[in-house]
Amino acid sequence: MLDDMSFGTVLVANRGEIAIRVLRAAREAGLRTVAVYSDADREARHVCDADTAVRLGPAPAAESYLSIPAILDAAARTGAEAIHPGYGFLSERAEFARAVAEAGLTFVGPGPDVLEAMGRKDEARRIAVSADVPVVPTAEVDAATEIEFPVLVKAAAGGGGKGMRVVGRAEDLADAVASARREAGSAFGDDAVLIEKYVEHARHIEVQVLGDTHGNLVHLYERDCSTQRRHQKVLEEAPAPTIGSALREQLTEAAVRLARKVGYVNAGTVEFLVEAEGFYFLEMNTRLQVEHPVTEAVTGLDLVLLQFLVAQGEPLPVIQEQISVQGHAIEARVYAEDPYAGFLPQAGIASTVAWPENARVDAALESGQRVGTSYDPMLGKVIAHGTNREAARRSLLQALDDTAVLGLTTNVGFLRQLVASNAFRHCEIDTAWLDEHPDEFALDVPPEALPIAAWSLADSTAAADPSHPFGAGDGWRLAGAATPVRVELDDVVATVDRAAGTVWSEGRTWRVGPVLGPAGALRLEIDGVVHEAYIEIDPHAVTVGYLGQPYVFTRPDAFGPTAQRLAADGSVAAPMPGTVLDLKAQVGTRVREGDTLGAMEAMKMELALKAPYDGTVTAVGAEVGQQVALGAVLFVVDPADDA
Please, what is the average pLDDT of the chain? Answer: 89
Instruction: Indicate whether 71 pLDDT > 90.
Output: yes
pLDDT over threshold 70, residue 310: yes
pLDDT digits (tens, 9 = 90+) for 365-398: 999 999 988 899 999 999 999 999 999 999 999 9
Query: Could you give the C-alpha distances from 522 to 453, 455, 456, in angstroms and in order?
Result: 11, 10, 9
Angle at 640 between CA 639 and CA 643, to 5 degrees: 85
The predicted structure's pLDDT at residue 576: 72
Q: What is the DSSP letter of 142?
A: G
What pLDDT sits at residue 632?
85
pLDDT of res. 477: 52
Q: How confident is the model at residue 144 (pLDDT cuts 50, 70, 90)?
A: low
The predicted pLDDT at position 221 comes to 98
Instruction: Sort 596 into a burial class: Cβ within 10 Å, 0-12 / 13-18 / 19+.
Output: middle
Angle between helices 121-130 and 245-261 (to 10 degrees): 110
Q: 505 pLDDT exceeds 70?
A: yes
Q: Report residue 133's pLDDT band, with 50, 70 and 90 as the boundaries.
A: very high
**Rounded Cα–Cα distance for residues 533 and 519 (Å):** 11
pTM: 0.83
Q: How many CB atoms within 10 Å of residue 364?
A: 20
pLDDT above 50 (res 439): yes
pLDDT score recorded for residue 464: 46
With pLDDT > 90 as the criterion, what percentage of the chain qualifies? Answer: 68
* pLDDT tens-place string over residues 510-524: 999 999 888 889 999
If DSSP codes are grouped into helix, strand and coil, which group holds residue 389? helix
| SS3 letters across 71-121 | HHHHHHHHCCCEEECCCCCCCCCHHHHHHHHHCCCEECCCCHHHHHHHHEH
In the predicted model, is pLDDT for residue 460 greater than 60? Answer: no
pLDDT digits (tens, 9 = 90+) for 226-260: 999 988 999 999 999 999 999 999 999 999 999 99
Most confident range (mean pLDDT) of 172-176, 275-279, 408-412 is 408-412
Residues 609, 572: contact at Cβ < 8 Å? yes
Residue 491 has pLDDT above 50, yes or no: yes
Helix, coil or strand: residue 563:
coil
Instruction: Report helix, strand or coil for 530.
Output: strand
The pLDDT value given to residue 583: 92
Is residue 2 pLDDT above 50, yes or no? no
How many whole angstroms separate alpha carbon 177 and alpha carbon 175?
Answer: 5
Q: Average of pLDDT values for 538-548?
A: 90
Tally of residues, the chain: 643
pLDDT at 484: 87
The residue ranking higher by pLDDT, 140 or 584, is: 584
- Lowest average pLDDT, out of 177-191, 231-245, 611-625, goes to 177-191
pLDDT of 604 above 80: no
Mean pLDDT of 12-35: 98
Better-scored residue on pLDDT, 139 or 102: 102
Q: How far is CA 243 from CA 64, 250, 427, in A?
A: 43, 11, 11
Whole-number pLDDT of residue 266: 98
* pLDDT tops 60 at residue 420: yes
